[in-house]
Amino acid sequence: MTFRDLQKAGWLTVDRVDEAREWLCQGREEENRLPWVARFSMGLGAWFAGLFAIGFLALLFSEFGSVGGVGFIVLGLTLLGSGIRMIRLKKHVFLDQFALVLSFAGYGMASIGAEQVWRGYEDFLGSLLVSLFLCPLVYGLASHIVLRFMSVGWTWIAALSLASSEESLSVLLISLALGLAFVFLILSGRAQMRTWRPALIATLLGIFAAMWIMSGDFFENSYRVPFYREAYPVIGMVMGLGFVCPLWWLQRGQGLKSILALAVFALVGGAIGYFGGPGVGVALGLMAVAHARRDYWLGSIAVFALTGFMILFYYHLGVSLMTKSLSLMGAGVATLLLSFLIWRSDKYKDHKINSAA
């Protein structure tokens, strides 16, 4: 379905067709103005230079004697504020790059300061609190996509660091629950995608990072028992099912067949999550949602995640090669059979004929 199809069907509000066309073309214009590779370059540069800047400031202030946690927080907030102000000016690429580095260094310094203030409590708790406080502020004040991505990314890094260092199941569960709720909110179409895309991608990467930590640790636990051992199957199942929820929302009202297909998909996703492949379940769910939304960016992320988690799952699976081999061959034959049945189905043939026509 294209814009012209909407126009031909007469579904567009008559006196606002030009406005709709303008909005659609504006997306392309924005992409031409700052292509995603350029944004990636700026983001990468911000991390590189930001780490140097943090090193410089930390050493500088340690040379002049400690300024204390509050001093670092004030310095960090000043840098961040300057960065955001500079970005709003939108003058030049170098200034943008400099502003991103200032913001990154600001986040870093504020986190270091907060860690000093909260010293004696959990590691990374200060960073998490600062990130939670700054994230909505930065997101609201700065419209720069890289900065928005960075603000959510920092929060995830702090939350997962806290969960891992303190072996805190509650932090992990709360992070994942909030992440899942946010993903549902965006993917079910309740919020403007162009505004929330950086937050969505950062959240998805955060969820995948959490799944990665869990999947990697769970199988090779020879030296310690992971803190999420008890909750692992439940988390896996909930995450697998959680990504089916937006799919259900998008496909609702499609009739009994659709509900049945969705139920089978949910069963597969939940079972995969429960039996040790939470990342695989999440990636499969995201792949389906991305397809239902015709979102190629999300689809690509999901395919990469699926590949990584499949390798991780089979690499760490604590069974003999023979069992791995048989289970892989069995799953392979079953999915190939399914593929063959779809190919042979009348509906598929009709569909191909219609597409060709």
Partner 1 sequence: MMIGSERSGAQDSAELDRPLNRAELEHFCRSGLIREACRDKAFASFRDSIDWLLWLRLWTGTIGAIFLLAGVMFFFAHNWKGLSPLTRFGVLEVGLVLTVIGAVCFNVRATVGQWLLVAASVLTGVLIAVYGQVYQTGADAFEVFALWSALMLAWVVMAKFAPLWVFWLVIVETAMMLFAGQVLVPDRIADWSQVFIGMGLVTFGFLALWEWLHPKERFSTFRQNWIRFLLLAAGLFWLSAILWRWMFDLGYQSDRPEWSRWAGLLFWLVAVIGGICFFTRLRPSVLGMSLCVLDAAVIFSLMVARVVLEDTWDEPGGWLIGAVFAIGIFGGATLVILRLAKGSAGDEETGQGEET
Under the binding rule (CB under 8 A), the answer on residue 318 touching partner 1 is no
Amino acid at residue number 237:
M
Closest Cα partner for 231 from 220, 223, 239, 222?
Answer: 239
- CA–CA distance, 118 with 123 (Å, rounded to integer): 8
Q: Restricting to residues 282-311, which ones interact with partner 1 according to CB under 8 A?
A: 287, 291-297, 300
Under the binding rule (CB under 8 A), the answer on residue 315 touching partner 1 is no
Cβ atoms of residues 113 and 75 within 8 Å: yes
Under the binding rule (CB under 8 A), the answer on residue 222 touching partner 1 is no
Q: Restricting to residues 49-108, which ones interact with partner 1 according to CB under 8 A?
A: 49-50, 52-53, 55-57, 59-60, 63, 90-94, 96-98, 101
Under the binding rule (CB under 8 A), the answer on residue 223 touching partner 1 is no
CB atoms within 10 A of CB 67: 16
Amino acid at residue number 314:
Y
Under the binding rule (CB under 8 A), the answer on residue 205 touching partner 1 is no
Strand partners, 147: none
Contact window for partner 1 (CB under 8 A) among 10-18, 70-78, 108-116, 232-240: 10-18
CB atoms within 10 A of CB 319: 11
Nearer to partner 1, 70 or 336 (CB): 336
Contact window for partner 1 (CB under 8 A) among 73-81, 131-139, 190-198, 203-211: 190-198
Applying CB under 8 A, which of residues 132, 181, 193, 260 lies at the interface with partner 1? 193
Under the binding rule (CB under 8 A), the answer on residue 121 touching partner 1 is no
Closest Cα partner for 184 from 266, 247, 246?
Answer: 246
Phi and psi, residue 119, nearest 5°: -60, 140
Under the binding rule (CB under 8 A), the answer on residue 185 touching partner 1 is no
Nearer to partner 1, 181 or 264 (CB): 264
291 burial level (CB within 10 Å; 0-12, 13-18, 19+)? middle
Contact window for partner 1 (CB under 8 A) among 40-48, 121-129, 155-163, 212-220: 40-48
Cβ atoms of residues 98 and 86 within 8 Å: yes
Q: Restricting to residues 249-278, which ones interact with partner 1 according to CB under 8 A?
A: 250-251, 253-254
Phi and psi, residue 32, nearest 5°: -65, -35
Q: How many residues bind partner 1 (CB under 8 A)?
A: 99
Cβ atoms of residues 248 and 270 within 8 Å: no
CB atoms within 10 A of CB 215: 23
Nearest distance, CB of residue 315 and partner 1, angstroms:
11
Nearer to partner 1, 225 or 311 (CB): 311
Nearer to partner 1, 8 or 174 (CB): 8
